[in-house]
Amino acid sequence: MSSRIQQLFFLLSVWIYFTFFGKFHLLFTEGTQLFLFTWDYAADTCMQPGGTANYLSRFIVQFFHFPGLGALIIAFMLLALQFLVQKVASEKPREHSGLSYIPSFFYLCLLTDLTKYTITGLVSLLAALLAVLAYKHIRNTGFRALWGFISLPLLWYTMGGTAVFALVILCLKFLPPARKTRSAVLISFFIFLAGYFSLWRIHDTGREDILRCYFSIHKGHWNEVISRARKKMPADVLTINGLNLALAATGQAGDCMFAFPQSPQTLSIFNTGEGLLFSAETLFNLGFINEAQRLSHEYMESAPDRQLNALLLAQMAETNLIAGRTAVAQKYLRLLDKTLFYKKPARMIMPLTHNLQLVSAHPFYGSLRKYQPTGNFSSDFTNLDNMLARMITEHPDNKMAVNYFFLYT
């Protein structure tokens, strides 16, 4: 198998995988970060150890907003990793045995769950390999020593721990050149077969389905949630929780609820992990605006890297707008205005913050604003049915809350 054919085949297969089997991982990864086009954001991020790698990876991740483009970017990054490994190993294209694809397949398997593993490590690896390759091509001994002396601390500060990886390669001098053997084609075939088999084994379809369900209810695509559940019976609590919300939204709760597996947990309000996101969507659509904002904020604060979250900032701007806290809503909208893909919707909502009558007249925000409690309200997530009972007593026209309440009876 020639080098060009291998590269094209690898590139195409990675793009297909992330476009069709990892689409919602890409969307979720993009939505749970916030890249700001400001000097302050750049300085605050890059001045931290390893911050430049974080800054570059976050810049790239924002383009995951379009999954096809995000898949293509990942495919080229993994191919660049293969190319650099090949160059550092002094392997000639015509002697290509496929060994240089092993790191790319390894990282591809890691990226099957972008909620746990990010492309920051991949960016750092590429930078480390570029530094080693530059060291290798410097002919002057003095300049080479100077480059090694400067590049390693610089890599450590800008890219993090991959400087150790670069140091190991430099200490080994260079990997021996690959020799042309008759078994090169067989080795390539075995590596690709093992790589794709590992990808197939490690791919988590259930995880992708959970994220698909979240984005569907986030966008209010209720019929899409129900249609998919009828084609493929949901097996996890979060997806069934989102399905029940969709059934309540479309008025099908009474007819269709028990066509799907149910348990006490499927109507619960969750307080950990992605469950917070599902519960925030549930409370938001039922009219419990302040409670939805609380859970969204808890999820954002629980993120390991303490990043701001574009999806939840947009939702918190909406919750504050509905609750009449226009100054807070403006604060969040100004942040979103400094992003690439969220500035347009933020600018569309901003005029509403200057006139609450426009909010009341809005076809979506207006009804949710109308359902806000006028007196003291006790939030007890362990007894959501009591909260719903009070809601429908005060607002019997809240059809979604009425339908969701009957799921308990």
Q: Name the burial class of residue 220, with classes exposed (0-12), middle (13-18) and buried (19+) by CB atoms within 10 angstroms of its CB.
A: middle
Question: Could you tell me which of 244, 246, 260 has the C-alpha nearest to residue 216?
Answer: 246
Q: By the 8 A CB rule, do 217 and 242 touch?
A: yes
* Range name among 113-117, 168-172, 363-367 with the lowest pLDDT average: 168-172
The average confidence (pLDDT) of the chain is 88
Answer yes or no: is pLDDT of 174 > 60: no
CB atoms within 10 A of CB 118: 19
Distance CA 27, CA 65 (A): 6
Q: Is the pLDDT of residue 323 over 70?
A: yes
Q: Please check the confidence at residue 190 and state whether its pLDDT lies above 90.
A: no
Q: pTM score, two decimals?
A: 0.90
- Residue 97 pLDDT: 61
CB contact at 8 A, 3 and 96: yes
CA 272 to chain centre: 17
What CA–CA distance (Å, rounded) separates 110 from 122? 10
* Span 216-264, pLDDT tens digits: 999 999 999 999 999 999 888 999 999 999 999 998 887 888 888 887 7
- pLDDT on residue 271: 84
Q: Stretch 120-145: mean pLDDT, rounded? A: 87
Structure tokens that stand for 103 in this block? 């790191």
CA dist., res. 89 & res. 169, Å (int): 10
Q: Which contacts qualify for 331-340: CB closer than 8 Å, 24 or more apart?
A: 335/34, 335/36, 335/308, 336/310, 338/36, 338/37, 338/38, 338/41, 339/34, 339/35, 339/36, 339/37, 339/62, 339/310, 340/35, 340/37, 340/62, 340/65
Q: Is the pLDDT of residue 93 over 70?
A: no
pLDDT > 70? residue 170: no
**Helix segments in 257-354, DSSP class H:** 275-286, 289-301, 310-323, 326-336, 343-349
- The stretch 341-368 carries a mean pLDDT of 94
Closest-CA residue to 108 (of 194, 6, 168): 194
DSSP state of 96: -
pLDDT band at 69; cut points 50, 70, 90:
very high
The mean pLDDT of 267-277, rounded to a whole number, is: 87
Q: How many CA atoms lie within 13 A of 21 on its CB side?
A: 15
187 is written with which tokens?
């080795």
- 3-class secondary-structure state, position 291: helix
Residues 62/309, Cβ–Cβ less than 8 Å: no
pLDDT for residue 175 is more than 70: no
* Of residues 156 and 168, more confidently modeled: 156
Task: Say yes or no to pLDDT of 95 above 60.
Answer: no
pLDDT of residue 177: 53
d(CA 322, CA 365): 6
Instruction: Output the pLDDT for position 172.
Output: 56
Q: How many CB atoms lie within 10 A of CB 9?
A: 12
Q: What is the pLDDT of residue 3?
A: 78
Supply the Cα-derived Rg of the chain in whole angstroms: 26
The model's confidence at residue 18, banded by pLDDT at 50, 70 and 90, is very high
Which residues contact residue 246 at a Cβ distance below 8 angstroms, ignoring those fewer than 6 apart?
216, 217, 222, 223, 225, 226
Q: Which residue has the higher pLDDT, 381 or 229?
A: 229
Buried b (16+ CB within 10 A) or exposed e, 299-330: bbeeeeeeebbbbbbbbbbbbbbbbebbebbb
Provide, rounded to the nearest whole percent, the portion of the chain with pLDDT above 70: 90
pLDDT of residue 52: 94
Compute how many other C-beta atoms are within 10 angstroms of the C-beta atom of residue 51: 18
pLDDT at 187: 77
Q: What is the pLDDT of residue 184?
A: 66
What average pLDDT does the segment 319-330 reach?
Answer: 95
The residue to which tokens 């006790």 are assigned: 378
Asked whether residue 100 carries a pLDDT value surpassing 60, the answer given is: yes
Q: Output the pLDDT for position 261.
A: 83
Task: With cut-offs at 50, 70 and 90, classify the pLDDT of residue 138.
Answer: confident
Answer with the residue of higher pLDDT: 332 or 193: 332
Q: Is the dihedral of CA 54, 56, 62, 63 positive or negative?
A: negative
The band of 308, judged by pLDDT with boundaries at 50, 70 and 90, is: confident
